[in-house]
């Protein structure tokens, strides 16, 4: 019945008590598990060396974490989409973070290029003129306006998708410091792009299919 509930039925049953709530939570967890497994199946390369039971355990962990997050944010659901679609995103986000951690598990970052030269050498054949202009602006900011640490954090986390904990370990600092460096670097990039007349929504649309 999990996929046949209306948005109101989901909210009513998840905030009820007793057997009604238990059934709704079990159905929601199954939905989140399916979402995590779907993501893992689409990205098998991140789980090389793991057997099916280990992958299933990772998916179950993601589902449990996503379930807790959904229950904590029920009051934030506004009904702009189906409840299942909204909840599904929590599981996908958890699965994405798990895949990134697994991708870098046991790997050294010493050989990973963190210079702006490695990012901007060469042209991508399918880039539009606008994308090339934005790429040029990003290069200017990364080369000229970021500190060495901001540049390292931005390149590792945004361009190479290295997990936060790996970056913390590599740079010998803490999560709060990394958050601040990443926030400051993104703010500089955003401000320069906005000053050149680009809107955030436009940038997302331009690069949503790249990478």
Dihedral pair phi/psi, residue 121, rounded to 5°:
-70, 130
pTM flag (> 0.85): no
For residue 2, what are the contacts with CB-CB under 8 A and spacing of at least 6? Answer: 27, 28, 30, 31, 84
pLDDT of residue 203: 55
Contact 70, 28 (CB under 8 A): yes
Q: Which residues contact 66 (CB under 8 A, 6 or more apart)?
A: 32, 35, 36, 87, 90, 91, 93, 94
How much is the pLDDT for 3?
66
Residue range 21-36: mean pLDDT, rounded: 93
pLDDT of residue 202: 53
pLDDT per residue as tens digits for the range 109-148: 555 555 555 455 555 444 456 667 777 777 888 888 888 8
Tokens 């229950």: give the residue. 71
Dump pLDDT digits (tens) for 65-117.
999 999 999 998 988 889 999 999 999 888 887 877 776 665 555 555 555 55
Q: Which sequence spans correspond to the domains of the chain? A: 2-104, 116-207
Contact 163, 100 (CB under 8 A): yes
Number of C-alpha atoms within 13 angstroms, CB side, residue 58? Answer: 25
* CATH class given for the domain over 116-207: mainly alpha
- Whether the predicted pLDDT of 16 surpasses 60: yes
Higher pLDDT, 161 or 96: 96
CATH topology for 2-104? Answer: Rna Polymerase Sigma Factor; Chain: A (1.10.1740)
Is 90 within 8 Å of 32 (Cβ atoms)?
A: yes
pLDDT band at 64 (very low <50, low <70, confident <90, very high): very high
């Amino acid at each position: 019945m999990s996929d046949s509930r209306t948005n109101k039925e989901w909210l009513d049953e998840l905030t009820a008590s007793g057997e009604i709530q238990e059934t709704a939570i079990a159905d929601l967890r199954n939905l989140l598990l399916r979402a995590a497994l779907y993501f893992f199946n689409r990205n098998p390369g991140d789980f090389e060396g793991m057997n099916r039971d280990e992958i299933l355990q990772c998916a179950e962990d993601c589902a449990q974490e996503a379930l807790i997050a959904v229950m904590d944010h029920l009051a934030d659901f506004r009904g702009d989409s189906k409840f299942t679609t909204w909840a599904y995103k929590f599981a996908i986000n958890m699965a994405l973070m798990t895949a990134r951690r697994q991708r870098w598990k046991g790997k050294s970052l010493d050989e990973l290029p963190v210079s702006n030269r490695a990012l901007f050498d060469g042209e991508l054949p399918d880039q539009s003129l606008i994308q090339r202009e934005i790429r040029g602006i990003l290069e200017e900011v990364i080369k000229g306006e970021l500190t060495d640490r901001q540049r390292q954090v931005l390149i590792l986390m945004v361009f190479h998708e290295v997990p936060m904990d790996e970056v913390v370990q590599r740079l010998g600092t803490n999560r709060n410091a990394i958050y601040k460096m990443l926030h400051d670097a993104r703010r500089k990039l955003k401000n320069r792009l906005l000053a050149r007349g680009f809107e955030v929504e436009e940038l997302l649309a331009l690069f949503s299919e790249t990478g």
